[in-house]
Amino acid sequence: MWKHRSDPVLHIDLRRWADLLLVAPLDANTLGKVASGICDNLLTCVIRAWDRSKPLLFCPAMNTAMWEHPITSQQVGQLQAFGYIEIPCVAKKLVCGDQGLGAMAEVGTIVDKVKEVLSQHADFQQS
């Protein structure tokens, strides 16, 4: 816990440290929290404090029934309105055994999108 005013605050330190934030997978619970501004864990606190001049990418992943619920499209739209970049989910056999839309995008697709977004932000330092 914090003892002094200058003690580090992890979610703020992470915000400052990172050039890009990737949330993969973004489940229905966290999607709802982020869309509503709830910040009750480290991830949602980092997102709430995120520097919106830096890219934030998210990869939704959930059961097809959850993905097709009307609130999901509203919540995804809210994240897009914040300027966050969606890497769309795909249709395939899901963890629950169902076949359908809702699986997280393939890792290669995610990596390609991250590279694309980083290349568009030339002001980031190369390591």
**39: three-class secondary structure by DSSP:** coil
Residue 52 lies in a domain: yes
Residue 81 lies in a domain: yes
Residue 41 lies in a domain: yes
Transcribe 3-37 into DSSP letters: -STTS--HHHHHHHH-S-EEEEEE-HHHHHHHHHT
Residue 13 lies in a domain: no
Residue 80 lies in a domain: yes
Q: What pLDDT, in 10s, does the model give residues 81-103?
A: 999 999 999 999 998 899 999 99
CA distances from 51 to 17, 19, 38, 98 (A): 11, 9, 17, 37
Residue 99 lies in a domain: yes
pLDDT band for 3, please (50, 70, 90 cuts): low
Closest CA to 81 of 117, 37, 35, 116: 35
Which of the following is catalytic: 45, 59, 89, 96? 96
Q: What pLDDT, in 10s, does the model give residues 27-69?
A: 999 999 999 999 999 999 999 999 999 999 999 999 999 999 9
Q: How many domains does the chain divide into? A: 1
What per-residue confidence (pLDDT) applies to 127? 46
Written as one letter, the residue type at 111 is V
What per-residue confidence (pLDDT) applies to 6? 61
* 96 in catalytic set: yes
Residue 72 sits in a domain of what CATH number?
A: 3.40.50.1950
Domain that holds residue 82: 20-119
Residue 53 lies in a domain: yes
Residue 32 lies in a domain: yes
Is-contact 41 11, C-beta < 8 A? no
C-alpha to C-alpha distance for 87 and 40, rounded to whole angstroms: 24
